[in-house]
Structure 1
Amino acid sequence: MRIALITESFPPDVNGVANSVVRVAEHLVARGHQPMVIAPAPSSSARGVTGARSYPVVRIPSVPLPRYRGFRFGMPSARLTDALIAHAPDVVHLASPFFLGARGVALANQRNLPTVAVYQTDIAAYLRNYRLAWGEDITWHWIRTIHNGADRTLAPSSTSVSDLAEQGIRRVHRWGRGVDTVRFHPSKRSAGVRRALAPDGQLLIGYVGRLAAEKRLDLLARVSRMPGVRLVVVGDGPGRKEAEKALPHAVFLGQRGGEQLARIYASLDVFVHAGPHETFCQSVQEAMASGVPVVAPAAGGPIDLVRPNLTGTLVPPGDGGAIADAVGALVKDPELRQRYGLAARDSVAGRTWAAIGDELIGHYAEVLQGRSVRPRLAVAA
């Protein structure tokens, strides 16, 4: 098949959308398909670090997002139309569609091209966190129009499937995310990393992800002050200064990747996440693949990933005290940490990107087979 992947984010961006699009495109190439990626152009300072790809990448003019200048959104233009026509795709894949994706689904409908829309970002929740709640209803209307204009919507968790159904979005199927179980592995645990981060032998409690308001890093304040514990924060983003103020005792490592990130994950004693708006939460899955027990809110993606009393602990969303209590119980019990960590690794062993990629190809095939039986819903271009 020839597939056009229209995405709102792509490397050098570091986030779940960009990472999953890369994994999908690489898997399609490995399976003999012909993907093309259409993505926003990076900032001028990042254009030299985008890297070579085994598939074509078409960049669309972009502008920085207000209040989050590290993220850019693509401006739909004739370049998108020309790229789509030139590739002549059998299927159009819309990754977290909003700006480029809206134009992409309109163009696909105009040309009677099958479409699969992948829901990955709870934009409405982000608006609330950035004090833009007045735009939530408008945003859901826009998302509903885009996704109901697609042949099929794929959502990453049971919670997101339910949320989309409640918002009137139809034809929703669940499709999760893969994890690199070779890169993220308990064997990457490093005595050197532990000495560098905890020179006095403290236990390492870690967070990996973007530093932004919706991640609620302030809820980790009690954890950061626990005796015998060192809180390690990996990542960057617009909320870094606020996080550093809220967590003055934590170690902030900035953005890390590759084998260095794998060693950090595996060297943790407990992984902790506080954000309640995760549609999936890939960092939880990477920590589990690394053999690390998890403490996370009982909301969104973590509900499907963490099995309480087996691989970690789920706590009430927004409750910093409950997070500290759950971490404290694991800090006091090394046997419990080991048992949870082993079970966590076992629970994700079959969730490889190859397996998830094959599931996606199956969705493409089903959409192609059933395409002729459903009337199209027009979407304004």
Structure 2
Amino acid sequence: MNGVTHSLLRVLDHLADRGDEVLVIAPGTRRDGPKEVAGARIVRVPSIALPKYRRIRVAPGGVTRIRRLLQRFAPDVVHLASPFVLGWRGVLAAQALNLPTVAIYQTEVPAYAARYGMHGIEAMLWNHVRNIHQHSSLTLAPSSYTIDQLEGLGVAEVALWARGVDSSRFDPGHRSEAWRRSVAPNGEKIIGFVGRLAAEKQVEDLAALTDLPGAKVVIVGDGPWRTRLQRLLPEAHFTGFLGGDALAQAVASFDLMVAPGELETFCQTIQEAMASEVPVIAPARGGPLDLVDSSRTGWLYTPKDLGAMRAHAADLLGDEAKRRAFGVAGREQVQARSWKSVCSQLVGHYSRAIENPAPQVLGRGFSSMVNSGLENPLPY
């Protein structure tokens, strides 16, 4: 499960409620997952797993197969979810069929390259990102930082589309003293992290917090770096992957949350913590710049300044009244950001692309096709 997956599933739910007809073209194998999700038919195309991250599959290949799938379905709009490999095939196929495309910029793939040992190709990857989005009718970016990033590349048609949060699921009422005792049996204050245990999340930076007096670092999530991180952070408690009510309970039970990744285009877990009345500490780069109101709902620190991160954590751990005030302000800030509201905005962007497409539109009622880019959109 990841941000791309989570937001795409919420979009599928919304389109199903509207009665739209949806086709998902995703990387996978014939044995992968269901053939339908939220009323949307799933078509898997051949893919390969990344060597260092087996759960991520990429779908290399030509455009012909994708063009045939689109031609048969005849959508009104093509939604490119975090496009990079399969998404590039999708945008070219749509352009050949004069179909409008809405590309969702959500993953800073070029910056990931160095973290996964692929040095010297970042400029080439940014050129690829620019090409994808320049070929799209409309690009949607999740934050003001990413809008500036794309416009700096020369991408012209960029609009803001943020993400929703379920503030009934993520609610301070789910705080559990029993859960807190299970992960911090000596009554420590809990510094939480939620996310994939992968290189780009910089979870190892939490080592700067593990010796804070009276504090316990609790890491929620799983991924290819888990074994390495357990060696680097022996004092931390690792819960493994949590979902559903278990995740909501864990987040609400934190005293504060730290999201140390510097490559977050949005960072959904920050909103979920804020909805749970948990203050957040994050680097002042990317999505957190829009989400964390520093000194009101949490703290932002200069990227790589782990001393500042530690000082902010110590400040909040030592001041219960401040933690409470930050938490209340954070929930007030995100409560109006429902998934229904942001998905309705997305449908408005679909209409904008249909009315003002670069290609010519095929008309057959209002249907939509969802295409996945780098990451498999289904958690199966």
TM-score past 0.5 threshold: yes
Letter aligned with residue 75 of structure 1: P
2:142–2:161 CA contact under 8 A, matched in 1: yes
1:177/1:306 CA distance change after superposition, 3 Å: same
Offset at 1:180? Answer: 1.2
Match of 2:44 among 47, 50, 59: 59
Letter aligned with residue 295 of structure 2: N
1:219–1:319 CA contact under 8 A, matched in 2: no
Give aligned-pair identity as a percent: 45
Which one is further off, 360-369 or 299-308?
360-369
Alignment-derived partner of residue 17 in structure 1? 4
Alignment-derived partner of residue 125 in structure 1? 111
Structure 1 segment 37-186 matched on structure 2, within 5 A: 37-41=24-28, 47=32, 52-76=37-61, 79-186=65-172
Q: Matches of 1:214 and 1:138 in 2, distance apart?
A: 19
1:368/1:49 CA distance change after superposition, 3 Å: closer
1:220–1:323 CA contact under 8 A, matched in 2: no
Q: Matches of 2:17 and 2:65 in 1, distance apart?
A: 27
1:60–1:75 CA contact under 8 A, matched in 2: no
Which one is further off, 324-333 or 190-199?
190-199
TM-score of the two chains, using structure 2 as the length reference: 0.91
Q: Secondary structure at the match of 1:310?
A: coil
Letter aligned with residue 79 of structure 2: H
Letter aligned with residue 255 of structure 2: D
RMSD of aligned Cα (Å): 1.9
Letter aligned with residue 211 of structure 1: L
Match of 2:234 among 221, 236, 248: 248
2:16–2:38 CA contact under 8 A, matched in 1: no
TM-score of the two chains, using structure 1 as the length reference: 0.91
Alignment-derived partner of residue 19 in structure 2? 32
1:335/1:131 CA distance change after superposition, 3 Å: same
Offset at 1:74? Answer: 1.9
Offset at 1:94? Answer: 0.4
Q: Matches of 2:30 and 2:201 in 1, distance apart?
A: 24
Letter aligned with residue 26 of structure 2: A
Match of 2:321 among 332, 335, 339: 335
2:179–2:253 CA contact under 8 A, matched in 1: yes
1:42–1:72 CA contact under 8 A, matched in 2: no
Match of 1:281 among 256, 267, 271: 267
1:274–1:318 CA contact under 8 A, matched in 2: no
Write the deviation string for residues 13-43 of structure 1: whole angstroms up to 9, x where unpaired. x111111111111111112222221111169
2:179–2:250 CA contact under 8 A, matched in 1: yes
Letter aligned with residue 192 of structure 1: A
1:66/1:298 CA distance change after superposition, 3 Å: same
1:121–1:279 CA contact under 8 A, matched in 2: yes
Alignment-derived partner of residue 5 in structure 1? none
Match of 2:337 among 326, 329, 351: 351
Match of 1:299 among 285, 295, 303: 285
Write the deviation string for residues 172-228 of structure 1: whole angstroms up to 9, x where unpaired. 111101111111111111111111111111111100001111211221112111121
Write the deviation string for residues 97-139 of structure 1: whole angstroms up to 9, x where unpaired. 1111111111111110011001000011101212313111111
Letter aligned with residue 224 of structure 2: P
Offset at 1:160? Answer: 0.6
Give the unaligned 5+ runs of structure 1: 1-13, 375-381
Number of aligned residues? 360
1:42/1:212 CA distance change after superposition, 3 Å: farther
1:287/1:245 CA distance change after superposition, 3 Å: same
Alignment-derived partner of residue 312 in structure 1? 298
Q: Secondary structure at the match of 2:213?
A: coil
Q: Matches of 1:49 and 1:253 in 2, distance apart?
A: 28
Q: Matches of 1:192 and 1:137 in 2, distance apart?
A: 50
Alignment-derived partner of residue 370 in structure 2? none
Offset at 1:372? Answer: 6.5
Which one is further off, 324-333 or 122-131?
122-131
Q: Secondary structure at the match of 2:316?
A: helix
1:360/1:86 CA distance change after superposition, 3 Å: same
Is structure 2 residue 358 aligned with structure 1 residue 363?
no
Alignment-derived partner of residue 216 in structure 2? 230
1:74/1:306 CA distance change after superposition, 3 Å: same
1:42/1:262 CA distance change after superposition, 3 Å: farther
Alignment-derived partner of residue 375 in structure 2? none
1:222–1:321 CA contact under 8 A, matched in 2: yes
Q: Matches of 2:35 and 2:305 in 1, distance apart?
A: 39
Letter aligned with residue 63 of structure 1: I
Offset at 1:370? Answer: 1.6
Q: Matches of 1:39 and 1:147 in 2, distance apart?
A: 19
Offset at 1:79? Answer: 4.5
Alignment-derived partner of residue 377 in structure 1? none
Q: Using CA pairs under 8 Å that are at least 6 residues apart, name the structure with larger relative contact order, 1 or 2.
A: 2
2:251–2:276 CA contact under 8 A, matched in 1: yes
Offset at 1:53? Answer: 3.5
Offset at 1:59? Answer: 1.1
Which one is further off, 89-98 or 49-58?
49-58
